[in-house]
Amino acid sequence: MLEQTQNWINKGAEVLMPTYARFPLVLTQGDGAVVADVDGNTYIDFVSGIAVNALGHCDADFVNAVQDQADTLLHVSNLYYNIPQIQLAEALVEHSFADKVFFCNSGAESIEAAIKLARLYAHQKMDGDRFEIITMERSFHGRTLAALSATGQTQYQQGFSPLLPGFKHVSFNNIEAIEKAIGPNTAAVMLEPIQGEGGVRIPAPGYLAAVRKLCDQYGLLLIFDEVQTGMGRTGHLFAYQEAGSTPDIMTLAKGLGGGLPVGALLAKEAVANCFQPGTHASTFGGNPVVCRAGKIVIDRLTQPPFLKQVRELGMDLLKQLETLQKQTSVITDLRGKGLMLAIDLNISAAPVIDAAMKRGLLLNRTSENTLRLVPPLTVLPEEIDQMMSILSEILKEPSDGKT
Ligand SMILES: *Cc1c(COP(=O)(O)O)cnc(C)c1O
Do 186 and 244 belong together in one domain? yes
Is 225 marked active-site?
Answer: yes
Query: What 3-state DSSP class applies to 58?
Result: coil
Do 155 and 272 belong together in one domain? yes
Contacts of 348 (CB under 8 A, 6+ apart): 368, 369, 401, 402, 403
Say what the pLDDT of residue 399 is. Answer: 56
Q: Which of 46, 248, 254, 337 is catalytic?
A: 254
- In order along its 403 residues, the chain shows pLDDT tens digits of 578 999 999 999 999 999 999 999 999 999 999 999 999 999 999 999 999 999 999 999 999 999 999 999 999 999 999 999 999 999 999 999 999 999 999 999 999 999 999 999 999 999 999 999 999 999 999 999 999 999 999 999 999 999 999 999 999 999 999 999 999 999 999 999 999 999 999 999 999 999 999 999 999 999 999 999 999 999 999 999 999 999 999 999 999 999 999 999 999 999 999 999 999 999 999 999 999 999 999 999 999 999 999 999 999 999 999 999 999 999 999 999 999 999 999 999 999 999 999 999 999 999 999 999 999 999 999 999 999 999 999 999 765 444 4
In a domain? residue 67 = no
Do 371 and 279 belong together in one domain? no
Task: For residue 195, give the ligand 1 atom closest to its CA.
Answer: 13
Do 205 and 129 belong together in one domain? yes
Residue 211: in which H helix or E strand, if any?
helix 207-218
Q: Is 156 exposed, middle or buried (0-12, 13-18, 19+ CB in 10 A)?
A: middle
In a domain? residue 203 = yes
DSSP 254: G
Q: Which of 225, 238, 248, 337 is catalytic?
A: 225
Do 201 and 262 belong together in one domain? yes
In a domain? residue 113 = yes
227 C-alpha to ligand 1 centroid (Å)? 6
In a domain? residue 400 = no
* Domain end point (choices 284, 301, 318): 301
Task: For residue 139, give the ligand 1 atom closest to its CA.
Answer: 13
For residue 378, the enclosing domain spans: 3-58+305-395
Do 233 and 362 belong together in one domain? no
208 C-alpha to ligand 1 centroid (Å)? 20
Do 243 and 144 belong together in one domain? yes
How far is 121 from 220, CA to CA, in rounded Å? 10
Do 120 and 250 belong together in one domain? yes
Say what the pLDDT of residue 403 is. Answer: 41
How far is 267 from 251, CA to CA, in rounded Å? 9
Nearest to 84 by CA among 285, 302, 289, 300: 289
User: CATH number for the domain including 21?
Assistant: 3.90.1150.10
106 C-alpha to ligand 1 centroid (Å)? 7
Do 287 and 344 belong together in one domain? no
Is 131 marked active-site?
Answer: no
pTM: 0.97
Task: For residue 192, give the ligand 1 atom closest to its CA.
Answer: 13
Do 83 and 25 belong together in one domain? no
Answer whether 82's CB lies under 8 Å from 288's CB: yes
Do 263 and 319 belong together in one domain? no
Dihedral angle computed from the Cα positions of residues 74, 78, 81 and 85, in that order, rounded to the nearest 10 degrees: 60
Q: Is the CA virtual torsion 230, 107, 199, 203 positive or negative?
A: negative
How far is 98 from 270, CA to CA, in rounded Å? 10
Do 139 and 116 belong together in one domain? yes
DSSP 369: T
Number of domains in the chain: 2
* Domain end point (choices 254, 274, 301): 301
Nearest to 50 by CA among 243, 162, 197: 197
In a domain? residue 403 = no
Ligand 1 contact via 253 beta carbon (within 6 Å): yes
Ligand 1 contact via 112 beta carbon (within 6 Å): no
Ligand 1 contact via 140 beta carbon (within 6 Å): yes
